[in-house]
Amino acid sequence: MVRNVDYKCWLNFAQMGGHPAAKRYRDQLDSICVLGDGPISRTVKEELGRGLSELTGKDSFAVHAEPQAETSVIAAVDYLENGGLLDEGYIVRAAKAGDKVQVVISSPSERGLLYGTFAFLRQLQAGRGLEKIDILENPKNELRMLNHWDNFDGSIERGYAGRSIFYNRNELVDDLGRIQDYARLLASLGINSIAINNVNVHYLETTFIEERLDLVKTLADIFRPYGIKLFLSINYASPMQLAGLETADPLDPDVQQWWIDQTAKVYEQIPDLGGFLVKADSENRPGPFTYGRNHADGANMLGRALKPFGGILIWRCFVYDCQQDWRDYETDRARAAYDHFYPLDGEFDDNVILQIKNGPMDFQVREPVSPLFGKLERTNQILELQITQEYTGQQRHLCYLVPQWKEILEFDTFAKGPGSTVDKILAGAIFEQSHSGITAVVNVGRDGNWTGHTLAQANLYGYGRLAWDPSLSAEQITDEWVVATFGHNEKVKHTVSKMLLRSWEIYENYTTPLGIGWMCNPGHHYGPSVDGYEYSKWGTYHRADHQAL
Ligand code: GCW
């Protein structure tokens, strides 16, 4: 298998080679001790050993079975007083041990240990003095998720970096090692959930919850040691396709029972599955509207089937009329999600989450924030961003999206007075929610560098860091990424950071300026076209002319 030089992305620890700090670490660090033998602890042991040897250039580190006074790095659940830590939080703290420094990584959970381990390695990549390390961190968001729009045949809807890393010709790919490498990359950012198939669930992917459960199980086994739970995108009309039922009406007792039984079968194979993700009544996908039911009926039916297993049902709010007449000025696509879902606020079960795209239209280069944020007060909700550059240059153009996401996250809805920003809503700090967080459509494929355009790796990195902590600044994330990827050369750092940080606005200026959306070519969405979508059926009108914007 050919791997590009940039295959390692930001886990390119060997970049530290020439740095004076790497020499110091080499003298200071010689042994590790990881307590715990669960699958994630084994990953911690591997990652710590691997990261430290790559960073210091030492072949191997002594592994102590029990912590000793001279152990350089100790990672163990509850090793330190964990006051103030959430389950996935961690402490990484250095202390003097004789004339040496000892670093302890502690968390209430194995998953937290893994995140602490990567946080520690990040500190070393930044060249920080070992003795100065003293971090206590909790994730701000509970759900830190990625959505794959991968199809079973290996194609990716809106994928710009080659074919799927999961599937090929209706089977899993041969190169499962690469999927494991992907899991590492995600775990290093604290991603804890992924949906493994396209929300447009075609005929074949519908079988993932039945005869192809074997492949879901294989993927779950790969991701589990990295603390990542799987979600399945499901076809709302599965009972009709898979069992020949005549309806998928959510209030039909046979339909309800079918989902209860089928969900039990899924959980028998994958007991820690995160749950299901659904795109319903949207862009010709089936849904409850066909039966005169609303989206709370549809979502709750599935939520109740998942409930006994601790599963979560994520329901997308991307619902609108995609068969519009452009002369119709009444139907307003920008209002659609709001009009469908605001009246249902408070009607969704506690294990149901609404997934809301950042803007009211569809991942345009610039959009206002969806009005559902700040209005849905009694509904679990997560934000959906798009890392894959569908409307933003398709990974052939440089368009670094962290500044865009920062604007969205910092937007003040004033829902409960000033300071009711989107990031706080997502963290569950404004309204009471049993689940909250953030997700994004990912940008990876089988290209040697994962993302087509190497600098597009920064979008994945930036998303993961913001999902963990939305208060990080774009500049800090950018500096971290450049150094972790390309090393410590000041000129490279300065030049690449500047290119990244300015690129979104530059892209906007040459494709869709003045806040006008949809000025792209229909279908594939590449390249500017002033009236590209103006007279189509999709409800995508900017209606800007010589008289007004
Ligand atoms: O932006 C549109 C995309 C579709 C996508 C849809 C969605 C998965 O062009 O490719 O379908 O959004 O988000 O459901």
- CA 450/CA 496 separation, integer angstroms: 19
Residue stretches of the chain with pLDDT short of 50: none
CB 157 near ligand 1, within 6 Å: yes
One-letter amino acid at 219 equals L
One-letter amino acid at 338 equals Y
CA-proximal residue: ligand 1, atom 3 (nearest): 158
Cα 157 to ligand 1 centre (Å): 8
Cα 365 to ligand 1 centre (Å): 15
Cα 359 to ligand 1 centre (Å): 13
CB 318 near ligand 1, within 6 Å: yes
In ligand 1, which atom is closest to the CA atom of 283? 14
Q: Per DSSP, what are the bridge partners of residue 355? A: 316, 382
Cα 283 to ligand 1 centre (Å): 8
CB 538 near ligand 1, within 6 Å: no
Relative to beta strand 143-147, strand 436-441 is parallel
Q: Tokens standing for 365?
A: 């280069």
Cα 340 to ligand 1 centre (Å): 18
CB 362 near ligand 1, within 6 Å: yes
Q: Tell me the whole-structure pTM to 2 decimals.
A: 0.97
With CA atoms as reference, report the closest residue to 176 among 184, 185, 166. Answer: 166
With CA atoms as reference, report the closest residue to 15 among 170, 129, 124, 131. Answer: 124
Q: Could you give the 3-state DSSP secondary structure of residue 135?
A: strand
CB 199 near ligand 1, within 6 Å: yes
Task: Specify whether 252 is catalytic.
Answer: no
CA atoms within 13 A on the CB side of 455: 22
Cα torsion angle, 181, 183, 189, 195, sign: positive
Best mutation site among 147, 151, 155, 158 for ligand 1 pocket (most ligand atoms within 8 Å of CB): 158
CA-proximal residue: ligand 1, atom 7 (nearest): 318
pLDDT value at residue 360: 97
Distance of CA 183 to the CA centre of its chain: 12
Task: Specify whether 390 is catalytic.
Answer: yes
CB 149 near ligand 1, within 6 Å: yes
Q: Which of 214, 254, 272, 283 is catalytic?
A: 283
Task: Specify whether 367 is catalytic.
Answer: no
Name every residue whose Cβ is closer than 8 Å to that of residue 89 and which is 6 or more positions away in sequence.
Answer: 82, 107, 108, 112, 136, 137, 138, 139
CA-proximal residue: ligand 1, atom 12 (nearest): 362
With CA atoms as reference, report the closest residue to 321 among 149, 541, 147, 150. Answer: 541
Cα 282 to ligand 1 centre (Å): 9
CB 469 near ligand 1, within 6 Å: no
pLDDT value at residue 279: 98
- CA 139/CA 465 separation, integer angstroms: 10
pLDDT value at residue 194: 98
Q: Tokens standing for 176?
A: 């499962």
With CA atoms as reference, report the closest residue to 320 among 370, 290, 281, 293. Answer: 281
3-state SS, 393-421, equals: CCCCCCCCCHHHHHHHHHCECCECECCCE
